[in-house]
Structure formats: structure tokens, C-alpha cells
Amino acid sequence: MATALYDLTIPPFTRGLRALSGLLDKAVAHAEAQGVDPETYLALRVIDDMNPLIKQVQTACDSPKLCIARLSDVAAPIHDDSETTIAELQVRIADTLAYLASVPREAIDGQEAKPVTLTFPGGEMKFLGQPYVTGFAIPNFYFHLTTAYLLLRGAGVPIGKRDYMGAPT
């Protein structure tokens, strides 16, 4: 029986992105209640050499869409990382969710042995479909989602585990 890669990817990516959208909504509400410009959150960093919140959200969108595109050969939307506001990030999240919803199950399931090569400035990483999903794409997605959550939580936004987990899909 083929691994249901669709079930390993689309539902958790969808749930996580919806939760991320909710975290940003709560950040905006908290900032406004405190009389603070919500856009100041976008520059938050854990430490100087880590990417800020804005890049964490962008990458949390890129990871699922690129994973699904690599598995399915269904072209993903292209984002140029030009967002400068939380509202623009919300559009990116919605765009990514729409893409994930548009990819048919048949294009993902059965791709567990599909070769996937990631190219980086310092080299490349080669995977097969299932190890790529379980050993790289999903952990990478949750790293950026978790980092975004922690940046907002550390800034005093009243969010908790239920917000991070989001509603089941």
C-alpha cells in the first residue's frame, strides 16, 4: 500500500497555516489594544543572526507550497518576499492555502520514491519523496511556525498552545 503522502502533508500544512493566520490576527488585536503599531512585530528576532518574524512567516508559507510542488509537479504560486505589513502576510498565507487546496490527492499520493533534490548555495540535498516529507519538509515548516509563535509570545501577545495548534482540518 502506498504511503498517503497527501494525508502527511496537506492537512497538517493547512492546519498550521490557518493557526499562523490566527496568531497574526491576535498580534494585531493585542498591538492595537496596547496602542502599538502591529507592524513593529515584523522585525522581532530571537537573536541577531536569525531571521525576523516577517521572514519566518514567509518561509512558513514557502515550505509547504514548495514541498507540494516538488511532489506533485503542480506549479506553486511565486511570492517575491516583498510583504511589508501583516495584512500582506495574511494575503500570502491565504494564497498558499488556496494553492494547497487546489492540488489533487492523486498528484501527491504514491510519490514516496520520487527523487527530490534541493539546491542551496553550498550544495544540494537529495531525497526520495517520503523521507523528504518526513525528514525535511515537515520539520522545516514547524521550525518556522514555532519560531513565529515564540516571537509573538515573547513580545507579550496573549497566545498559547491552543492558538499554535489551531483547529483540526
> So what's the pLDDT on residue 63?
97
pLDDT means per 10 residues in the chain (169 residues)? 84 97 98 97 96 98 98 96 98 98 96 94 95 97 98 97 90
Taking the alpha carbons of 18, 79, 139, 71 in that order, is the dihedral positive or negative? Answer: positive
> First vs last Cα of the chain: how many Å apart?
24
List Cα–Cα distances, 131 to 13, 60, 67, 79, 147, in angstroms. 17, 19, 12, 26, 23
> So what's the pLDDT on residue 168?
82
User: The whole model's pTM is what?
Assistant: 0.95
Q: Cβ atoms within 10 A of the Cβ of 19, count?
A: 20
3-class DSSP assignment, residue 109: coil
> So what's the pLDDT on residue 86?
98
> What residues form DSSP beta bridges with 127?
116
